[in-house]
């Protein structure tokens, strides 16, 4: 049972445009969500997070939106840069579970110059 | 502030052997979690240690075990290695619950 899903395995956008990566979850107990960027053979790099008490969080070019009723979150990258090309994972946790993260399957983002 | 350090970076082991991987968390972080990444299964949670106690455990066989020391450093051990254990093993350290987890570079384990 996949509790966190990223339905798009890949996404291609033009440099300077917006990248929108999506993530759905099924467990309503999740109350904290994170996005990570990952290159092959390296550990994930933390990008941005959001608590379930918020519906939006911004950090520079990265904005995460949370729609609790739809159990959906998205990561917006504006403007997209070629260096953003990587695999992006969303992850979720719930407060009573310590720091146990459940990851989605990842979306490969390719930003074309 | 130093990041999460995992050693070794690469390992090649033979089926049936055992292996121990090490993780040093960010200074001040008391929670250490381990994850396995494989092409077919993605990133899967193995276990989490907090103050030397296992706080959470994922759905892995008993061949996978871990421990945490008083200085928060953690080790994970895999016994009786199988070919399917070939993966990137990642360690993450966190401060309080429901805060960002910071990952190390990982240990690439190849079982032959």
Residues of chain B with Cβ-Cβ distance to A87 below 8 Å are none
Whole-number average pLDDT of chain A: 94
Pairing status of strand A10-14 against strand A62-67: unpaired
Query: Rounded to 5 degrees, what angle do the CA atoms A74, A78, A82 make?
Result: 105
CA distance B27 to B43: 25
Percent of chain B having pLDDT more than 90? Answer: 86
A106/B42 touch (CB, cutoff 8 Å), yes or no: yes
- pLDDT tens for A47-60 read 999 999 999 999 99
pLDDT of residue A2: 82
Whole-number average pLDDT of chain B: 94
pLDDT of residue B2: 75
DSSP class of residue A79 equals S
| Closest CB to B103 among A43, A93, A105 | A43
CB A57 within 8 A of CB A32: no
B29: alpha, beta or left, given left = phi > 0 and alpha = psi -120 to 50? beta
- pLDDT tens for B31-71 read 999 999 998 888 999 999 999 999 989 999 999 999 999 99
CA distance A1 to B69: 33
Which residue in A54, A98, A60 sits closest to A76, CA to CA? A60
CB B94 within 8 A of CB B87: no
B98–A contact, CB cutoff 8 A: yes
pLDDT of residue B41: 81
pLDDT of residue A97: 66
pLDDT of residue A96: 65
CA distance B92 to A93: 14
CA distance B53 to B76: 13
Residues in chain A with pLDDT values less than 50: none
Is pLDDT of B19 > 90?
A: yes
Tally A–B CB contacts below 8 A.
72
Backbone phi and psi for residue A21, each to the nearest 5 degrees, phi listed first: -110, 135
Is pLDDT of B15 > 90?
A: yes
A100/B56 touch (CB, cutoff 8 Å), yes or no: yes
- When comparing pLDDT for B97 and B104, which is higher? B104
pLDDT, average across residues B70-90: 97
B74–A contact, CB cutoff 8 A: no
- The minimum CA-CA distance between B73 and chain A, rounded to whole Å, is 16
A102/B33 touch (CB, cutoff 8 Å), yes or no: no
CA distance B109 to B13: 7
Is pLDDT of B100 > 80?
A: yes
């Amino acid at each position: 049972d996949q509790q966190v899903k990223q339905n798009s395995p890949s996404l291609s956008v033009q440099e300077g445009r917006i990248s929108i990566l999506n993530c759905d979850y099924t467990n309503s107990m999740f109350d904290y969500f994170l996005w990570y960027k990952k290159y092959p053979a390296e550990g994930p790099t933390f990008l941005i997070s959001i608590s379930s008490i918020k519906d939006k969080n911004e950090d520079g070019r990265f904005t995460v939106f949370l729609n609790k009723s739809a159990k959906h979150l998205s990561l917006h990258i504006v403007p997209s840069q070629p260096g953003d090309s990587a695999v992006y994972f969303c992850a979720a946790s719930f407060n009573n579970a310590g720091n146990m993260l459940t990851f989605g399957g990842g979306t490969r983002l390719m930003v074309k110059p | 502030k130093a990041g999460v350090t995992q050693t070794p970076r690469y390992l090649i082991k033979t089926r049936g052997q055992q292996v121990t991987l090490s993780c040093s968390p960010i200074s001040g972080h008391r929670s250490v979690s381990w994850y396995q990444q494989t092409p077919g299964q993605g990133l899967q949670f193995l276990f989490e240690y907090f103050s030397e106690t296992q706080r959470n455990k994922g759905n892995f066989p008993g061949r996978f075990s871990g421990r945490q020391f008083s200085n928060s450093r953690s080790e994970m051990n895999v016994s009786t290695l199988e070919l399917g254990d070939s993966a990137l093993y990642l360690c993450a350290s966190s401060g309080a619950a429901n805060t960002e987890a910071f990952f190390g570079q990982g240990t690439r384990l190849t079982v032959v």
